[in-house]
């Protein structure tokens, strides 16, 4: 039993001995080994991980330098900030499986948007951010500037305009921790988010130009530059929570560089872990086993590969606790 670890890690080491529990330990130790050997790590966030308050553990991972770059959906980008500024107005619905269509309509009428058992308040979350982020967009356009979606969010957070609304301990916001470190973020498909919809509405009203927001292609260019600058030595690992566009978009930077750009000195991702409950036979990216990625030129034969087939809201905080020696 390790004596230099906290109670959570000691509990994991003692009890997580077989099956998915053992896979969790293997993945956590692999992540730790990768960092100790000088490697860097990307974490990808699909699903509703921000609304699940992964920030409680992920923010500390960021502060301690255990993650070097994040890829996430537009929803995860904004919902961490929503939780930061509107948490007290959230509503939990433990019996969400029993809700009737009328119950769901009643939630809508009361200004709630439901994510499984958690209802996000329209006015306190969405509109509170809108009021301030639109100013960032319009100011940039007036100055002839363009930024990536996460860069606008960083500007918003670092402006301190949102501090007046904080309703959780700010140390539990992963976006705030990332902004303070200027952590690189990739946010593919940002348009598929509430802020993306709001931005589109201003473009339709001719109050903003679509070009003020940098595109997904520019995110791939940004990631290409970052990967080239950071993949020497031990290389970059890939810790995938869920799957979807947050995972598939960034992992493709490697085959894009050596197949499409024909750069032949591009190292493969040097560690891979996926936490997913998707079934392989359905043909989804989320359910694809790591070895399938070898055929796409994303992983090498010898890349350490781990699968934890479980709920990421349970597994990810435990893996982070291990890495943080909690």
Residue 265 lies in a domain: yes
What Rg, from alpha-carbon coordinates, does the chain have?
A: 20
Residue 214 lies in a domain: yes
CATH of the domain at 64: 3.40.910.10
Using CA atoms, how far residue 208 sits from 2, 219, 284, in Å, is 56, 20, 36
User: pLDDT (tens digit, 9 = 90+) per residue, 117-174?
Assistant: 999 999 999 999 999 999 999 999 999 999 999 999 999 999 999 999 999 999 999 9
Using CA atoms, how far residue 267 sits from 2, 120, 253, 303, in Å, is 34, 42, 11, 11
Quick one: what percent of the chain has pLDDT higher than 90? Answer: 94
In 107-164, the DSSP E strands lie at: 112-115, 118-121
Residue 35 lies in a domain: yes
DSSP letter for each residue of 57-101: HHHHHHHTT--SEEEE-HHHHHHHHHHHHHGGG-EE-TTGGG--H
User: pLDDT (tens digit, 9 = 90+) per residue, 84-101?
Assistant: 999 999 999 999 999 999
User: pLDDT (tens digit, 9 = 90+) per residue, 184-210?
Assistant: 999 999 999 999 999 999 999 999 999
Residue showing tokens 């916001």: 173
The pair of three-digit structure tokens given for residue 195, joined into one six-digit string: 């802020």
- Could you give the number of structural domains in the chain? 1
Residue 249 lies in a domain: yes
Residue 1 lies in a domain: no
Residue 2 lies in a domain: no
pTM for the model: 0.96
pLDDT at 278: 78
| Other residues' Cβ atoms within 10 Å of the Cβ of residue 14 | 10
Question: What own/partner pairs with CB < 8 Å and gap ≥ 24 does 99-106 have?
Answer: none
Residue showing tokens 């500007």: 155
Domain of residue 256, residue span: 7-323
- Give the DSSP H or E segment for 316: helix 312-323
- Give the DSSP H or E segment for 274: strand 271-275
Residue 72 lies in a domain: yes
Residue 113 lies in a domain: yes
Bridge-based pairing state of the strands 118-121 and 112-115: antiparallel
- CA-to-CA distance for 287 and 271, rounded, in angstroms? 18
């Amino acid at each position: 039993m390790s004596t230099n670890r906290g109670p959570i890690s000691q509990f994991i080491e003692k009890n997580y001995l077989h099956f998915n529990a053992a896979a969790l330990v293997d993945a956590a130790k692999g992540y730790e080994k990768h960092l100790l050997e000088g490697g860097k790590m990307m974490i990808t966030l699909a699903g509703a991980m921000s609304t699940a308050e992964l920030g409680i553990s992920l923010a500390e991972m960021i502060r301690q330098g255990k993650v070097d770059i994040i890829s996430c959906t537009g929803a995860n980008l904004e919902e961490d900030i929503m939780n930061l500024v509107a948490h007290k107005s959230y509503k939990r619905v433990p019996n969400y499986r029993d809700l009737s269509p009328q119950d769901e309509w009643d939630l809508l009428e009361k200004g709630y948007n439901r994510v499984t058992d958690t209802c996000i308040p329209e006015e306190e979350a969405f509109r509170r951010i809108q009021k301030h982020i639109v100013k960032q967009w319009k100011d940039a356009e007036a100055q002839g500037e363009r930024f990536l979606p996460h860069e606008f969010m960083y500007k918003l957070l670092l402006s301190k305009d949102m501090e007046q609304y904080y309703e959780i301990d700010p140390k539990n916001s992963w976006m705030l921790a990332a902004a303070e470190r200027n952590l690189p973020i990739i946010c593919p498909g940002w348009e598929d988010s509430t802020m993306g919809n709001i931005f589109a509405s201003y473009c339709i009203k001719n109050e903003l130009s679509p070009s003020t927001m940098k595109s997904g292609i520019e995110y791939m260019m940004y990631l290409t530059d970052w990967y080239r600058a950071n993949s020497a030595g031990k290389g970059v690992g890939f810790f995938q929570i869920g799957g979807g566009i947050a995972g598939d978009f960034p992992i493709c930077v490697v085959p894009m560089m050596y197949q499409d750009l024909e750069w032949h000195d591009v190292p493969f991702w040097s560690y891979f872990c996926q936490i997913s409950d998707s079934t392989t036979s359905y043909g989804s990216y989320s359910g694809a086993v790591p070895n399938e990625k070898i055929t796409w030129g994303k992983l090498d034969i010898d890349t350490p590969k781990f699968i934890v087939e479980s709920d990421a809201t349970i597994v990810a905080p435990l893996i982070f606790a291990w890495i943080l020696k909690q």
